[in-house]
Structure 1
Amino acid sequence: MEPTTTIRIELENFMKQNGLNITQFGLVAGINPGTVSGIVTGNRTLSVHQLDRITATLGHPKGHFYKNYIEEFLNTATPNIRRVRPLLYHCAELDMFDCIEQVVNLLMENLAYADALFVIAEDFFKQGKFAASIILYESVAIGEKKQHSERLALCQYRIFMAKQGNDQEINYQAAIHFEDYVERLDDADQLDALKDLANAYLSTRKWNKLDEWTHKLERKAKIQYHLAHSREGKKKRIPKKTNRPLFYYVAYSNLLYACVCEEKGDYEQALKYTYAYADLSWVKENDKEAQHWIQLFKKWAQANIYTNKLLSGDATVIPDYLMLSQSSKDELPITLCNIVEAANRYHFNVDDILQRFELEIAEFIQHRLDTIYILQKTSDLLVLFLHELAKYHLVNSNFTNGFNYLIITLEKSATFNNKTFIIKCVGLFESFKKHATIGTETAYQNIIREVCERN
């Protein structure tokens, strides 16, 4: 909505209605009377700090006059970045993205502001203000488009990461768009970008893409690791460190390969890759950080060895698998999901396990996680787990629980825009449709109708 009155008019009206002169208003607002006079007469530029004081004094919420401020004070003169910076931060805090776009468009008429906007965008990204950061990164990227610069690639990397959330289609499209920019990043950022890109394809279950980018991650990581520990490489100055030790990226590529093999049902090959990242005796680093990751890989390997044995039909590993996973709250949902998936595949009964962990299952279904990677993994795991639970109960003629989980799976899949599991839910419902109550069928049809309208 466009401003209907100016800041000056509202200020003058307020002073008249309350019988205040310039000096009195200045005292109430905590602003120098000379400054107030200059604002009223139009002879003085208003700072964002002063605007916020005036806004509060007039009884309005913070940000009430920001649209006016942009129109009246920024549009009419060349914007000053020192004056604009606090406005951008305040708008980000208030989710006033339309105002951020207006300010950025004004600034980017002069490409000299690109450096300052990039710094602010990086700050927003670190603070988790992803929507605000995307606006700034996209503007800087447009200015860099013809340069094919590293900063253009870095902007696209940040945009890709900022868009990762619980909508699987958005995650996937952001990953596809980012692919062309990976090679333009410096060596350190490339490894982290390849890892994050692979994680995006893992969470969206794009297995061919995951395999393709895991190959690239492995190749780059091995080259970088060799250079870092060769005589020639040690002589060269390394300008930037990766977020994690170099060996991590080599080991993690084996973990991702194992995921691809597991999805294909090649559990023997998956175990080979798992044993590969379990044995990190080749790692030359021996500091505290290196030891931290080595121990984590060993822990993941131990759990995934049980996973692959279980999914290949060996139910004898379940007690040890559960004992291992109970030491980590984050691992238990994955373990239970794998157990139910194996039960569906090999037709063994796990009713006692589902009853034993009933509270933990309910908690996982309701739990919300906000970090980018955890959110990606959790949304995918949640719908997979719910689908397996629905299938398990329906196959075993527990139709009340089965349809309950199926409806929840469909709701979550629609929320996450997870088309793969929407289709799976439709197939599962149609297979057991004759056992559904009228209420269940109505709930099912309502969700399907919403999905169709959305798409």
Structure 2
Amino acid sequence: MEITPTIRAEVQTYLIRKSLTMTEFGHMIDLNVGTVSGIVTGNRSISVHQLDRITMGMNLPPDYFYERYIDECIEEEPLNWRRISPFLYRCVELGRLDCLRRVVGMLLDNPVYLPSLFEVAEDSFKKGYTEAAAFLYENVAEGEKYQYSERLAVCQYRLFTIRIGDDQEKNYDAAIQFEPYVDRLDEVDQLDALKDLANTYRSLRKWNKVELFAKALEIKADIQYKLDQAHDVKKENLKKPVSPPFAYWAFSHLLRAEVCEARKDYEKALQHTYKYADLSWVKETDEVTFEWKKRYEEWSEANAYVNKLHAGEVSILADYVTFFSSRKEEILPGLDNIIEAANRFRLDIDHILKQFEKEIFTLLDKPECMGVYNQQFTTERFTHFLRGLAIYLLRKGRFSEGFAFLFSCLERSAEANNRIQAIRCMRLFTHFKEHASAHTKEVYGNLIKAVNEDEE
């Protein structure tokens, strides 16, 4: 069995091999000779900063000694947060999650370190080191699982944020897991948490859940707005939400309008739409307020068109197309709404599809989220549009094009683990199967085989 030399022994061997004195090496790595001598002789503990300087001077990878550092400088000495903390941050920065796990495992035996580990998690999350942050949040949450604490709720909120992605099943699991912790968050943080939960369920088309959290958001936002307006409260001492409170209130009604639309209650949907359209009661006059008011004014105009169109007022179709054609972020929702209305009312929209042919094929490459629409909403909306477009084309007897869009929808639904949409695609193919060529049936068979293999 090969014996690995200690850090000190390897540094000493390097100095001998390179014929360097401690003074010369100290000048190279910007450490004084006393520090170098103390490290080499074992009379001085090594900080991670000093270790990084030594490693750089030896032309080695920055994490070369990290496993031995844990063995020699952390495990064999009393735990010291001032020495351990910089090492944890370096492990995060260098992606050494194996070293991070070893050290955190030692610290978790003492609950006193949980707040400090939480701070490392927060810093890592803010800097975009999500994998390391998730590991830390999970361990802090486990350590505090029996505490009714805000810190536990924040851990769960961060984990929810990190876990949300393209997989619809995982998104649903993440939302369900986070739900019980929303009320434990700070009142201000609850605004964004409720918005994020509602948006997640919106992309899953879980309308009862969307309505539940939209109502809660309205109440919380109303309270927060009134607190901001209270003259006896010093505003500079108040924690501020990401967006103005009235914007959350307006968004709650936008969500509830969408719920009503999904339930085909278009009259009630319009009532909610008109509520967030009129924000004249908002007293602030700053630029941020102006921008939010303008945004909701445009959304209300768009959604008023949508509600009327789905209610059967097809005469507004041309005006609606004119409205969203000049707004890039509204093209996908606009096309989806129009194709849905076309299928419901048997409208001929070939001229509109021709007008947006370039945009449709651009979306096929990669639907990008724009404006306030997140990736989950965009991905789900695009698969919904693809299936609607397939229905439209197949009904018109344009089978080759229809099957092509249907297969694209099926493939993307499988990638996003959107089982309901995938099943609908398979049912649609079965319905029009007699019009499929032998080649089309073969392509479908291979696609289903690939989907089944992914499931397994």
More displaced, 147-156 or 16-25? 16-25
Q: How far 1:296 moved relative to its partner?
A: 1.0
Following superposition of structure 1 onto structure 2, how do residues 222-241 of structure 1 map, counting pairs within 5 Å?
Answer: 222-229=222-229, 234=233, 239-241=238-240
Which of 420, 427, 451 is residue 448 of structure 1 equivalent to? 451
State the alpha-carbon separation in 2 of the partners of residues 328 and 19 from structure 1: 69
AA aligned opposite 1:254: H
1:332 corresponds in structure 2 to: 331
1:9-408 equivalences under 5 Å are: 11=11, 32=32, 34-56=34-56, 60-229=60-229, 234=233, 239-367=238-366, 374-408=374-408
Distance 2:13 2:431 in 1: 70
Deviates more, 1:386-395 or 1:50-59: 50-59
Distance in 2 (CA, whole Å) between partners of 1:201 and 1:398 is: 34
Residues 399 and 77 of structure 1: is their aligned pair in 2 closer, same or farther, counting only changes over 3 Å? farther
Q: Give, in whole Å, the separation in 2 of the partners of 1:68 and 1:361.
A: 55
* 3-state DSSP of counterpart to 1:147: coil
**CA 1:43 to 1:209, structure 2 compared with 1: closer, same or farther past 3 Å?**
same
Evaluate the alpha carbon distance shift between residue 192 and residue 445 of structure 1 in structure 2; reply closer, same or farther with a 3 A threshold.
Answer: closer
CA 1:365–1:126: 2 relative to 1, 3 Å:
farther
Q: For the residues of structure 1 that align with 2:261 and 2:28, how far apart are their CA atoms?
A: 69
Change (3 A) 1:326 1:17: farther
1:58 Cα deviation from its structure 2 partner: 5.1
| Gap change, CA 1:283 and 1:11, over 3 Å in 2 | same
Once residues 369 and 269 of structure 1 are traced to their aligned partners in structure 2, the CA distance between those partners, rounded to angstroms, is: 31
Contact 2:390–2:401 under 8 Å retained in 1: yes
For the 8 Å contact 2:191–2:220, the answer to whether it is kept is yes
Report the Cα distance in structure 2 between the residues aligned to 1:55 and 1:431, rounded to whole angstroms.
67
Q: How many residues align?
A: 450
Name the SS for the 2:209 alignment partner. helix
Deviation per residue, 1:258-294 (Å, 9 max, x gap) = 1111111222221111111111222233333222211
Residues 85-125 of structure 1: CA deviation (Å, up to 9, x unaligned): 34333333343333332232223333333333222222222
Deviation at 1:54, TM superposition (A): 4.3
Give distance in 1, aligned partners of 2:447 and 2:358.
26
Q: Distance in 2 between matches of 1:285 and 1:13?
A: 69
Q: Structure 1 residues 69, 353: CA separation in 2 closer, same or farther (over 3 Å shift)?
A: farther
| More deviation, 173-182/139-148 | 139-148
Cα 1:370–1:159 change in 2 (3 A) is farther
Shift of 1:179: 1.5
Distance in 1 of aligned mates of 2:449 and 2:14: 52
Distance 2:10 2:413 in 1: 49
* Partner SS, residue 165 of structure 1: coil
Instruction: Rate the CA distance shift 1:266–1:112 in 2: closer, same or farther, 3 A.
Output: same
Query: How far is 1:16 from its partner?
Result: 6.4
Do 1:141 and 1:155's aligned partners in 2 also have CA atoms closer than 8 Å? yes
Detail structure 1 runs of 4+ shifted over 6 Å in the superposition. 235-238, 370-373
Quote how far apart the aligned CAs of 1:325 are. Answer: 1.8
Return the offset for 1:412.
Answer: 1.9
What is the DSSP-based 3-state SS (H/G/I as helix, E as strand, rest coil) of the residue aligned with 1:331? helix
Cα distance in 1 for residues equivalent to 2:117 and 2:443: 52
Residues 419-438 of structure 1, C-alpha deviation per residue, up to 9 Å, x if partnerless?
22122222222222331524
Any stretches of 5+ residues in structure 1 without a counterpart?
A: none
Aligned AA (2:357)? E
Q: State the TM-score, normalized to the length of structure 1.
A: 0.87
What do you get for the CA RMSD once the two structures are aligned? 3.0
Helix, strand or coil at the partner of 2:284 = coil
Q: Secondary structure at the match of 1:450?
A: helix
Could you tell me how far 1:186 is from its partner in structure 2? 2.4
SS at match of 1:285: coil
Q: CA deviation at 1:254?
A: 0.8
Q: Compared with structure 1, are the counterparts of its residues 86 and 276 closer, same or farther at alpha carbon in structure 2 (3 Å cutoff)? A: same
* Higher mean C-alpha displacement, 6-15 vs 355-364: 6-15
CA distance, structure 1, for counterparts of residue 91 and residue 368 of structure 2: 25
Percentage of pairs with the same residue? 46
CA distance in 1, matches of 2:212, 2:385: 26
Question: How far apart, CA to CA, are the structure 2 residues paired with 1:254 and 1:238?
Answer: 29
SS in 1 for 2:101: helix
Query: Which position in structure 2 is the counterpart of 1:411?
Result: 411
